[in-house]
Chain A
Amino acid sequence: MIHELSDWYPFRIFVSSANFAFRALFSWLRPEMWVTQLLALPLFQMAFFVYLARFVQPGGTSIAFVAVGNAMQVSAFASIFAICNLTSEEKWQGTLIPLISTPANRFPLFLGRSVYQIFNGMATIAVGFVYAKYVFGVDFSRADFLALALVILITSLTMTGFGLMLGSLGLFLRTAMIIANIFLFLGLLICGVNFPVSTLPTWVQPVSYAIPMTYGTTAARAAVQGANVVQLAPTLLGEIATGAGSIVAGYLLFIGFEALARRRGTLEEF
């Protein structure tokens, strides 16, 4: 007997997927490993670029610039790499087809699976900021912590959306691994993490502004220097817009890919 689908159905898919992702992850991830990665990743990434900056002492950027920028960018491992792997992992396991065979809407499904990484991203950034202050000596005396917290939240959310889009793109092009790795590190170069976007060649700059992190680093630096939420609003709105844009693009990509694969008969290869 076929049952009616309740109105809460999309919400249920979301919660169930989030729950499922947690269980699957923690079935093999041991707490020590997670904590180690959480503490080690920001430290070494930030150390590399801060010491490099200290050595070279480039004009146009400062230690604080580099430290704050990298503190934000460390979330890329969670929001880009891990998220991008969501779809390709499904494919390798052979579970993508069973998922597609259900009537479940793909949007809450993949969003639910991403929830953990959103929190992971935020936690990593927070750790990064702690290092920024206590290890690399960035001055937080004038910082607006509320604004900073908001920036962290929005950046983690929007970058996850960006990651989801990359995941769809990777699935479609069958190059998820490569895309994930490129974008994982690309941010270091073009998102205003280590030096301002303005120092990049002009043809690269539009690409930078299509990535939410670019707005995130600008906003974070401003917040550390004392800007409050109102002052940051334009930048944050730009970030939200890019994030929303990428989620929509990602969703359309996925639906399009599904339809195309059905027509071409290549669903098994995905």
Chain B
Amino acid sequence: MLNFFADPQWIIPNIIAPFIFTAVALMFYGNVSNSLALYAVIGGGMMGMWGSTLYGAGFALSSDRWNGTLEYVLGTPSRLIWIVAGRSFSAAVLGLVNALAILLIVVLGFGANLGIVNPLAFLLALVLTLVSLSALGVLLCSSFLLTRSAQVMTNGLEMPLYVASGSMFPIALLPFWSQGFSFILGPTWGIDAMRYAAYASYTGMAFGYWADILVLILSTLAYLAVGFWLFIVVERRVRRDATLVEI
């Protein structure tokens, strides 16, 4: 986690994009009504969190590779997974800061008044989404370990995620065949849950707030399970081939 904070300037790409995308969305809205502003903020905040999770997973890992410390980290008894989970979570939380910044800018810049109908539910959805994001980060991290170029992957992955998770528009708009992919992303459900909590009359995905929460929890567990399994695979492979020694 310390590595991550040591190089703050590297987080910038993942902060700037969400800001600008949100700004574009707001420009599209024209006259910004409160509910639309909220939509944009949730979406923008989500993108910010995605961005920093991805970033945290990929960069921390590839900087390990650069430093050659990865071998040592893999050797420690405390499973790599806990270390990565920690990093991933802190990255997601950092994304929350990002989201708050977007919130501030929207409120100050566009003068919107954001009222959330059910704050507690919103908070629950938010926290669970963060957890889900971190779990996803862990999963991504483990799959990045198998490839040589984690950083390039993180650069490419944010856009598809912004689109697929329906951060700025309902996924119902997306082509039918792609919606499957959207559904397996935990945060998609998370956003939906947050919108349920925020708006009085919102019809999002078919099953309502608690269904969303349920899927969030299930998906988080699924990610962790797969991630865990992948880490074991990676550790085994490393001991066998010593592939991670070189960059």
Contact = CB atoms under 8 A, between A and B. Distances in A.
A53 B27 CA distance: 11
Contacts of A200: 27
Given A36-B156, A177-B12, A54 B28 contact: no
B28 A58 contact: yes
17 contacts: A33-B149, A48-B162, A51-B173, A52-B169, A58-B27, A58-B29, A58-B30, A177-B10, A181-B12, A185-B17, A186-B20, A188-B20, A188-B24, A189-B24, A189-B27, A194-B24, A195-B28
Interface in A31-69: 33, 36-37, 40-41, 44-45, 47-49, 51-56, 58-61
A60 B30 CA distance: 9
Nearest to A44: B159
Interface in B20-35: 20-21, 23-25, 27-30
Interface of A: 28, 33, 36-37, 40-41, 44-45, 47-49, 51-56, 58-61, 177-178, 181-182, 184-186, 188-189, 194-195, 199-200
Interface of B: 9-10, 12-13, 16-17, 20-21, 23-25, 27-30, 149, 152, 156, 159-160, 162-163, 168-170, 173-174
A181 B152 CA distance: 15
Nearest to A187: B20
A55 B159 contact: no
Nearest to A54: B173
Nearest to B10: A177
B147 to A, nearest CB: 10
B10 A47 contact: no
Given A48-B21, A178-B12, A185-B20, A194 B170 contact: no
Contact of B159 (A48, A54, A181, A195): A48
Q: Which of B12, B28, B162, B173 has the most CB of A within 10 A?
A: B28
A54 B169 contact: yes
A182 B173 contact: no
Given A48-B162, A177-B12, A194-B24, A59 B168 contact: no
A124 B29 CA distance: 29
Contact of A55 (B27, B160, B168): B168
Contacts of B12: 177-178, 181
A126 B247 CA distance: 34
Contact of B9 (A59, A177, A188): A177
A182 B16 contact: yes
A226 B213 CA distance: 51
Nearest to A42: B159
